[in-house]
Chain A
Amino acid sequence: EVQLVESGGGLEQPGGSLRLSCAASGFTFSSYSMNWVRQAPGKGLEWVSYISSSSSTIYYADSVKGRFTISRDNAKNSLYLQMNSLRDEDTAVYYCARLRGDRTWDYWGQGTLVTVSS
């Protein structure tokens, strides 16, 4: 069974940092691209970042470029999102999602809540 479990969320002050993790199981993690997506309270979905299976290709949304860094450790079956210079508007539930070779987002995690507030 495919499982994606996010962790690392919490309360952080503006300007602070957090590191999110996504632990993958039930599939060959190193064969899949991965994404982070977020959802602000009561709002819609916003794509945040993409990383290819080998980490050779990485993309970011303009809203996080220069502040967030996506990475992965295929030996540990884990995906990460380093979030620096946090802003109030980064407050959201952050989901990791798997991307198949045919560009299908087939599995999503349960999400981890990040709250940025003083």
Chain B
Amino acid sequence: DIVMTQTPLSSPVTLGQPASISCRSSQSLVHSDGNTYLSWVQQRPGQPPRLLIYKISNRFSGVPDRFSGSGAGTDFTLKISRVEAEDVGVYYCMQVTQFPLTFGGGTKVELK
């Protein structure tokens, strides 16, 4: 199984400041079709998960451009350029390259 490791576990941030979350996979997420199926989801308190980024760097419909994804192979990053109050929640990376599908443990973004 592919293990997804996120750091940090918690990220206290000041409104308007940037935030960055790292995600590392135990093996390459490059699929045999050449795509890398790494996504990021956001879960606000009391809400279901919501897709932010797919295939490393593609923002889903309606996602603000302050969210960006990057990386390749086994190392990936989600960045929030300027944190807003509505960004508070837990962020998960997830791989859809290979079954069983796996998630990172989550990173809690909270305000200082």
Contacts and interface: CB of A to CB of B under 8 A. Distances in A.
B101 A47 contact: yes
A25 to B, nearest CB: 16
A61 B51 contact: no
Q: What class of interface size applies to chain B in its complex with A?
A: 20 to 34
Contacts of B101: 35, 47, 50
B49 A108 contact: yes
Interface of A is mostly: strand
A108 B48 contact: yes
Most buried by B among A44, A62, A99: A44
Interface residues of A, number: 23
Given A44-B92, A59-B100, A62-B100, A106 B51 contact: yes
B7 interface: no
Contacts of A47: 100-103
Contacts of A105: 39, 41, 51, 54, 94, 96
Contacts of A102: 35, 54-55
Contacts of B105: 44
Interface of A: 35, 37, 44-47, 50, 59, 61-62, 95, 97, 99, 102-111
